Amino acid sequence: MHEPLRLRAAGLPLDCVPMAETGIGTFFITGASSGFGAATARQVVAAGGRVVAAARRIERLSALAAELGTKRLLPVALDVRDRAAVEAAVAALPKGFDVVDTVVNSAGLALGLQNAPQAHLDDWDRMIDTNCRGLVTVTRALLPGMVERGRGHVINLGSVAGTYPYPGGNVYGATKAFVHQFSLNLRSELHGTGVRVTCIEPGMCGGTEFSQVRFGGDVKKAGEVYAGMQPLTAEDIAGAILWAASQPKHVNVNVIELMPVSQSLAGFQVARNGGAGDR
């Protein structure tokens, strides 16, 4: 019998349909108030899934819920750096949103583009707290349920900055290298549990708030980053996330690295000033 019909015949509300019946299942998306997170929420709902949408700006999330429907999207005000708040939010998920099939850890940020000697330690602390500590806190809170159910998917937002160095990338790139290695270690440790892990590692992506945040709200400077080139879009990244999430259950997509055609690598640099340490 067709699944929804079988559920109806069994007297079960379609509201509590688990992943197998809803196809793409329930996603817990951090950073859902903007950029990749918001685009992913839209694509998940369009594919028939449900979303727990988490971020600090609740008014943005409420607007998204109004757009996509409160039966499909639950807005949750959350600062991923607050461990107690993360644990409480996961424990308080209401029926219909409490069986999380996929977590998308998109909350993250870059602050500043100064070289290390000029960079601000407060910015470094905030990137580490959000991109590393926040990501592992959310993941740790959702993993036991996934392991218990024998299915689930952790999808982390890394970056090409975690693999390829560039001036000003210092701690931002290092946090994304952390995300890459954390993802691979998770894969290894979740061996045999049925829980999948994917790290999505994009290059330059426009149309999000990423560069505005990096440059302290300077919209002009943020716009110049993408001048004269065609960056990736948030929809491109959401498409990669949905693709990884909708593979057959025996397939694990470990890492997806994607860049705009306009961006590539430039190789090593040499300081021709006489020798190591010479000025």
Residues taking part in catalysis: 172
Residue 17 or 32: the one with the smaller Cβ distance to ligand NDP is: 32
The reply on whether position 260 binds ligand 8X3 by CB under 6 A is: no
From 70-78, 90-98, 155-163, 179-187, give the range in contact with ligand 8X3 by CB under 6 A: 155-163
Interface with ligand NDP includes 26 (CB under 6 A)?
Answer: no
Residue 124 contacts which entry, ligand 8X3, ligand NDP, none (Cβ below 5-8 A, type-dependent):
none
- Using DSSP's 3-state secondary structure scheme, residue 200 falls into strand
Is residue 33 packed enough to be buried (19+ CB in 10 Å), middle (13-18) or exposed (0-12)? buried
Query: Per CB under 6 A, does 156 bind ligand NDP?
Result: no
Query: With CB under 6 A as the contact rule, which of the stretches 12-20, 62-70, 107-115, 256-264 interacts with ligand NDP?
Result: 107-115
CB of 179 closer than 8 Å to CB of 187: no
Does 204 help bind ligand 8X3 (rule: CB under 6 A)?
Answer: yes
Nearer to ligand NDP, 17 or 107 (CB): 107
With beta carbons less than 8 A apart as the criterion, state whether 24 and 88 touch. Answer: no
CB 160 to ligand 8X3: min, Å: 6
Nearest distance, CB of residue 275 and ligand 8X3, angstroms: 31
Rounded to whole angstroms, how far apart are CA atoms 76 and 207? 23
* DSSP bridge partners of 157: 200
Q: Give 112-164 as a DSSP string.
A: ----GGGS-HHHHHHHIIIIIIIHHHHHHHHHHHHHHHT-EEEEEE--GGGTS
The one of ligand NDP, ligand 8X3, none whose footprint includes residue 37, by CB under 5 to 8 A per kind, is: ligand NDP
Q: How far is CA 106 from the centre of its chain?
A: 2
Q: Which residue number, 204 or 238, has a Cβ lying nearer to ligand 8X3?
A: 204
Q: Phi/psi of residue 28, each to 5°?
A: -110, 110
For ligand NDP, the binding residues (CB under 6 A) are 30-31, 33-37, 55-57, 60, 78-81, 106-109, 130, 134, 157, 159, 202, 204-205, 208-210, 213
